[in-house]
Amino acid sequence: DFLNALEEVHPAFGVSEEELQQVVQNGIIHFDAVVDEILRSGKLLVEQVRTSTRTPLVSVLLHGPPGTGKTALGASIAQASEFPFIKLISPDSMVGYSESQKVAAITKVFADSYKSPLSVIVVDNIERLIDWTPMGARFSNAVLQALLVLFGRRPPKGRRLLIIATSSQRPILSDIGFSETFDSELYVPPISSLRALEYVLREVELFRSNDERRDIIKELQYAGFKGQDGVPSNLQVGIKRDIIKEPQDAGLEGQDDMPLKLQIGIKKLLSMIEMARQEPENVGQRLMGLLMGLGM
């Protein structure tokens, strides 16, 4: 079973095992059906690369607000492929690189992948790879151009490649020329239902008892904020942005009129949970304060 395989992948030639595990340090919590859908879609793309001779190159973009788990999900899909070549291209390992050093490093990973019959490359955090800053809309055009070409360049005969890219700046990607680049796009949403929130709280065992946990959820409900429990899962492979409107891609802060809508990335949530844990006598109130500070 693919989903279970995530936990038991074996080392392989050309696989940067450690790097990948590092980014999934806190595991994958299945707090919502959408999490499974993303993993299943990823599996389908992996299979397409493994089997279809007509599409030796397949690319997918995981996008969503900051901290929603894009990197962890991308790395998980890659690891589960068990392809002989699995590599992570991440800004973390390129601090202080010049433009041309970055281009060289990125290009090398792609060149290496061409030596393996089946490869998957996770290109993490595109906006950071291209040194994007909103002020003055600055970025490295050299890195951008390299990515644009590499994402479209077919591997040599007999080689197959899956590219998994991540970004929390999808609108920017279109503006700089990435439209039509990816075969498929997957939206990674923030947590927006109380049910999902409770699921996470249970998994991380923040509270000593189930009652404590349920009380805090009730209190949140009472405080007037509704999650979007009734919303059906909106994820399908290849369905583009025009069909399904993303909830405020540009951050988690646009909830002025419905002030108590829950919108929080799993990464931030886990961080808040640890902060709350610091005051054991007062965990619940502390968590509520932190969540409401975020506009929940």
Ligand X SMILES: Nc1ncnc2c1ncn2[C@@H]1O[C@H](COP(=O)(O)OP(=O)(O)OP(=O)(O)O)[C@@H](O)[C@H]1O
Q: In the range 261-280, which residues lie near ligand X by CB under 6 A? A: 266-267, 270
* Candidate ranges 44-52, 65-73, 91-99, 233-241; the one touching Mg ion (CB under 5 A): 65-73
Exactly one of 71, 79, 119, 169 binds Mg ion (CB under 5 A); that residue is: 71
279 binds a copy of itself (CB under 8 A): yes
Interface positions, 115-174, toward ligand X (CB under 6 A): 125, 166, 168
Q: Which does 184 bind (CB under 5 to 8 A by kind): ligand X, Mg ion, a copy of itself, none?
A: a copy of itself
* Candidate ranges 69-77, 103-111, 132-140, 232-240; the one touching ligand X (CB under 6 A): 69-77
Q: Which residues are 119's β-sheet partners? A: 85, 161
Distance separating alpha carbons of residues 207 and 211, to the nearest angstrom: 9
Query: In angstroms, what is the minimal distance from the CB of 228 to a copy of itself?
Result: 21
Percent helix, percent strand, percent coil in the chain, to nearest 5: 45, 10, 40
Distance separating alpha carbons of residues 10 and 204, to the nearest angstrom: 26
242 binds a copy of itself (CB under 8 A): yes
Q: What is the chain's length?
A: 296
DSSP type of residue 180:
T
Tokens of 88: 């992570």
- The 3-state DSSP class for residue 235 equals coil
Interface positions, 39-68, toward ligand X (CB under 6 A): 66-68
**Radius of gyration of the chain, Cα coordinates, nearest whole angstrom:** 20
Distance separating alpha carbons of residues 204 and 195, to the nearest angstrom: 15
| Footprint of ligand X (CB under 6 A) | 24-29, 31, 35, 66-73, 125, 166, 168, 266-267, 270
